[in-house]
């Protein structure tokens, strides 16, 4: 974990409520895709946890969905704003533990960490497929970015306006050869994916209300088959076999 000042370089609106933020700063504490940062916002007591979408030596890319007051303010900050950021939080996805043929699955803003994950899997000589689920065509984002990386993107929308009609699970069912997923998204999606009989393994990224984000307060504890675990420190990524709902 490192605390550092990051400078907001630019923001770009991707959909009605999802924005891409580029921050420059010291990213040396970021070691794995699926880790998150915790951002201090003026006037807010608690920091806001946001997944690292992608990173390089110069900075971070974040995808932020306007959820409440804090994220609404965050995406509207002017370029040049300095933000106090705790970086290198959480365990992240374990690429080495994912078998050949593992599929990346994202729901809504849960697509964010899959970008850095896909890039690093490709760099490791893997060619993962990616399934993204959105409510509707107008909610979809980052499809070109993922395609440009060189991953095959399949989409599902609830209203059928883009890709398959339905949920990511409906797409997964058409891929019976897929027995392992690396997934991030809303809890109902994770739960439905986790319940698919075709899966023998997988890694699932969780969310929880956090106070510290670095393991000190046990505010984010969930029960797993391996015992009580902190989403912020022992997670946010948990292995399929350890997850209890």
Ligand X SMILES: Cc1cc2nc3c(=O)[nH]c(=O)nc-3n(C[C@H](O)[C@H](O)[C@H](O)COP(=O)(O)O)c2cc1C
75 or 86, CB closer to another protein? 86
Q: What's the burial of 156, exposed, middle or buried (CB within 10 Å: 0-12/13-18/19+)? A: buried
Closest CA to 20 of 76, 63, 65: 63
Of the candidate residues 173, 215, 239, 242, the single one contacting another protein (CB under 8 A):
215
Does residue number 149 form part of the binding site for another protein (CB under 8 A)? Answer: no
φ/ψ of 219, rounded to 5, equals -70, -25
d(C-alpha 136, C-alpha 161), whole Å: 6
When binding is defined by CB under 6 A, the residue of 29, 162, 219, 224 that contacts ligand X is 219
- Verify binding: residue 79, ligand X, rule CB under 6 A: no
Under rule CB under 6 A, residue 217 binds ligand X: yes
For the chain, where are the alpha helices, taking DSSP H only?
Answer: 69-75, 112-123, 143-149, 168-173, 187-194
**Given candidates 15, 22, 30, 49, which one binds ligand FAD under the rule CB under 6 A?**
49
Segment contacting ligand X by CB under 6 A, of 105-113, 148-156, 190-198, 211-219: 211-219
User: What is the C-alpha to C-alpha distance for residues 28 and 25, in angstroms, rounded to an integer?
Assistant: 9
- Site for another protein contains 136 (CB under 8 A): no
Regarding 233 and contact with another protein (CB under 8 A), the answer is yes
Binding site for ligand X (CB under 6 A): 211, 217, 219
């Amino acid at each position: 974990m490192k605390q550092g000042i990051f400078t907001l370089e630019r923001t770009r609106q991707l959909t009605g409520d999802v924005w891409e933020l580029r921050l420059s700063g010291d990213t040396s504490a970021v070691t794995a895709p699926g880790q998150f940062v915790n951002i201090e916002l003026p006037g807010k007591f608690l920091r806001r946890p946001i997944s690292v979408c992608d990173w390089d030596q110069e900075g971070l890319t974040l995808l932020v969905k306007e959820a409440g007051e804090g994220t609404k303010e965050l995406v509207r900050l002017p370029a040049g704003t300095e933000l106090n950021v705790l970086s290198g939080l959480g365990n992240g996805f374990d690429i080495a533990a994912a078998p050949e043929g593992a599929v990346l699955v994202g729901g809504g803003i849960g697509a964010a960490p899959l970008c850095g994950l896909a890039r690093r899997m490709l760099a490791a000589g893997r060619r993962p497929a990616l399934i993204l689920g959105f409510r509707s065509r107008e909610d979809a984002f980052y499809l070109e970015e993922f395609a440009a990386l060189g991953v095959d993107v399949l989409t599902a929308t609830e209203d059928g306006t883009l890709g398959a009609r339905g949920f990511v699970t409906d797409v997964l069912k058409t891929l019976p050869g897929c027995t392992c997923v690396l997934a991030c998204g809303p809890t109902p999606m994770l739960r439905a994916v986790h319940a698919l009989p075709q899966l023998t393994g997988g890694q699932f990224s969780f969310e929880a209300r956090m106070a510290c984000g670095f393991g000190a307060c046990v505010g984010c504890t969930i029960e797993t088959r391996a015992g009580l675990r902190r989403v912020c420190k022992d997670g946010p990524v948990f292995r399929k076999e350890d997850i209890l709902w």
